[in-house]
Amino acid sequence: MREEKIGVLCSGRGSNLASIIAAVERGDIRAEIAVVIADKADAYALERAREKGIPAVAVVYRDYAARADFEDALRAELSTHGVTLIVLAGFMRILTPAFVHAYAGHILNIHPALLPSFPGAHAHRDALSYGVKVSGCTVHFVDEGTDSGPIIMQAAVPVHDDDTEETLAARVLAEEHRIFPEAIRLYVDGRLQMDGRQVRILPCQ
């Protein structure tokens, strides 16, 4: 089995990153986090990475004239660090089809809703205003669309009458921290088989 090198892309506080680092430290995910990249210089995720001795790089979106230039810089960093699996952990940018094609089948994302409901940047607000009674989170392979790729794993949580975006987000986040490292573990162990939109989890060898 080849040794996977994970590149984690973040935009903010990096609590999902922390859960992935913990899973690597426990030996649950048998791979190395080769680099953490944020699109903002002040993303707390970078600090979390540095504290753990993981290379941490800011590729600041607004420093580039065009999205293609930003993505070229991202790709250069990923390639420098030998990344074989890209994990989007709270990365709030849409990747172009060209970028997605370059890493097809090797990009995982976590989204804080039960896709295909409530894609996009305001999942909790959208779920509350729709009035759903159940929400949750989804780990999926990234394709050219927005939050539209094949689903690997989901977890559901109840929505309470008095929920705010913050209380719902906190309940969902606890599940994110559970299923994202688990999905990454399955990928790294070669146990995810994609057949069109269906992702099957293969039994342990």
Among residues 39, 143, 175, 176, the one that binds ligand GAR under rule CB under 6 A: 176
Instruction: State the Rg of the chain over Cα.
Output: 16
**Can you tell me the distance from the alpha carbon of 179 to that of 159, in angstroms, rounded to the nearest whole number?**
19
Q: Which residue is nearest to ligand GAR (CB)?
A: 90
Q: Provide, rounded to whole angstroms, the least separation between the CB of residue 18 and ligand GAR.
A: 8
Q: Provide, rounded to whole angstroms, the least separation between the CB of residue 10 and ligand GAR.
A: 6
Say if residue 119 is preceded by a cis peptide, omega within 30 of 0. no
Question: Which CB, 3 or 25, lies closer to ligand GAR?
Answer: 25
Asked whether position 90 contacts ligand GAR by CB under 6 A, the answer is: yes
**Can you tell me the distance from the alpha carbon of 41 to that of 27, in angstroms, rounded to the nearest whole number?**
30
Nearest alpha carbon to residue 29 among 174, 185, 176: 185
Contact 28, 56 (CB under 8 A): no
Q: Dihedrals φ, ψ of 118, to 5°?
A: 55, 55
Q: Provide, rounded to whole angstroms, the least separation between the CB of residue 165 and ligand GAR.
A: 11
Among residues 13, 75, 106, 191, the one that binds ligand GAR under rule CB under 6 A: 13
**Can you tell me the distance from the alpha carbon of 154 to that of 156, in angstroms, rounded to the nearest whole number?**
7
Tell me the number of residues near ligand GAR by CB under 6 A: 16
Residues with catalytic roles: 111
Asked whether position 149 contacts ligand GAR by CB under 6 A, the answer is: no
Write out the binding residues for ligand GAR, residues 97-116 only, by CB under 6 A: 110-112
Q: Provide, rounded to whole angstroms, the least separation between the CB of residue 195 and ligand GAR.
A: 25
**Can you tell me the distance from the alpha carbon of 40 to that of 33, in angstroms, rounded to the nearest whole number?**
19
Interface residue list for ligand GAR (CB under 6 A) = 10, 12-16, 89-90, 92, 110-112, 121, 123, 173, 176
